[in-house]
Amino acid sequence: MLVPSLDEYIDTVDLGNGLIIAQQSIGVAHDTKGNWGNADGILGLGPVGLTKGSLPNESGRTIPTINNNLHSQGTIHREIETVNGEPEHAGPITYTPIASYHPSLNYWCFEQSISYGSSMIMSSAGIVDMTYQSATGGTLDAAASLLLISSAQYAALENLNFNIAGETFSLTPNAQIWPRVLNTYIGGSSSAIYLVVADIGMPSGTGYEFINGYLFTERFLTVLDSSRSRIGFATTSYTDVTTN
C-alpha cells in the first residue's frame, strides 16, 4: 500500500501504564492506495531504519519510533516488545539474530527453514507457496485471493514446521486456515476453507521470501529485541487450540 502524500505531526502519546512519550512523530496520510478497511494507522514496531525516506523531500532522514523514544527518554531500559494474541507463554523463548545483510537488515528478518510434514519446502532462501500448494492440493480462489481446500483435504493437512535456531515451531492444520467467521470479510464463501499461506510475489534470493505474519504471532509469542538485534519465539497456551 502506497502513501503518496504524508504530513508529520509531533504530539504526546500515552500508551497507558505510565508509558508516556513526549515529542513523538506521527505521520498523517492524505490519501492511500489499497484496502485499509477500518484501520486508523500503524504503530510501527519495525527497525528504525525502515522509516528512512518515509517523509516527502527528506529521503535521508530516519524518524524515532515508539520504542526509540521510550528508551531515549528513560521510560524503558531496553528497546524490546512482545507481540502475541495471548498474553501468557508456556515455553522458553528461543532467540535468533536478525539478518545483518541488505535488504533484510531493514526488517525483522531472520534465518529459518520450513517443512510441510516431513518434506522440506523452504531453506534459508527459497519460495514456499507453490510447493505448499502442491502438497496441500489447494486451488487459488479468485474472490478471496487465498488457496481453497476441501473438507477432505483439510482432514489430511499436516503440520507446517518452522525451524528457527534449532527449535521447531509448528502451525497445526487448524492454525493454517483462515478464521472461517471472517471468510466473507475477504470476499470468500462463508462455508469455504481457506489456507493462510499465500504468494507474496517476491522472487527467491531477495532476502524476504516468506512472511510469518500476524496469524503466526497469534500462535507464538514473538519478542522483538532491538537492543540486542535479535528476535525470539515461544509456544503459548494458544499454540495448539482449534478455534478456526
* Whether 33 and 58 share a structural domain: yes
Instruction: Give domain status of residue 128, yes or no.
Output: yes
Provide the 8-state DSSP code for 20.
E
Q: Phi, psi at residue 120, to the nearest 5°?
A: -70, 130
**Per-residue pLDDT at 8:** 85
Per the structure, the complete domain to which residue 36 belongs is given by 5-77
Residue 211's alpha-carbon distances to 12, 78, 83, in angstroms, are 32, 26, 15
Instruction: Tell whether 172 is covered by a domain.
Output: yes
Alpha carbon distance 36, 44 (integer Å):
15
- The pLDDT value given to residue 89: 75
CATH code for position 45? 2.40.70.10
Contact 232, 225 (CB under 8 A): yes
Assess if residue 242 is contained within a domain.
no
- Answer with the one of 77, 108, 134 that is the final residue of a domain: 77
The residue out of 77, 105, 133 marking a domain boundary is 77
46 lies in some domain: yes
Rounded to two decimals, the pTM is 0.76
For residue 190, being part of any structural domain is answered with: yes
What is the count of structural domains for the chain? 2
130: nearest Cα among 165, 22, 138: 138
Place of cell 519478542: 223
- Measured CA to CA, the distance from residue 146 to residue 140 in angstroms comes to 6
Confirm whether 225 is domain-assigned.
yes
Q: Is the distance from CB of 138 to CB of 130 less than 8 angstroms?
A: no
Residue 104 lies in a domain: yes
Q: 11 forms bridges with which residues in the sheet? A: 24
Judge if 40 and 69 occupy the same domain. Answer: yes
d(CA 6, CA 56): 7
pLDDT in tens, the chain (244 residues): 344 467 889 999 998 888 899 999 888 877 665 555 555 667 777 778 778 877 777 777 888 888 888 888 988 888 887 877 765 677 899 999 988 776 666 678 888 999 999 888 886 544 566 789 999 999 999 999 999 999 999 999 999 999 999 999 999 999 999 999 999 999 999 999 999 998 877 666 666 678 888 889 999 999 988 888 899 999 999 999 998 9
- Which cell numbers hold the place of 70? 521510550
**What are the two backbone dihedrals, phi and then psi, of residue 51, each rounded to the nearest 5 degrees?**
-85, -10
**For residue 170, what are the CA distances in angstroms to 26, 144, 176?**
37, 25, 10
Of the residues 57, 77, 97, the one at which a domain ends: 77
Residues 100 and 175 in one domain: yes
Same-domain status, 91 and 66: no
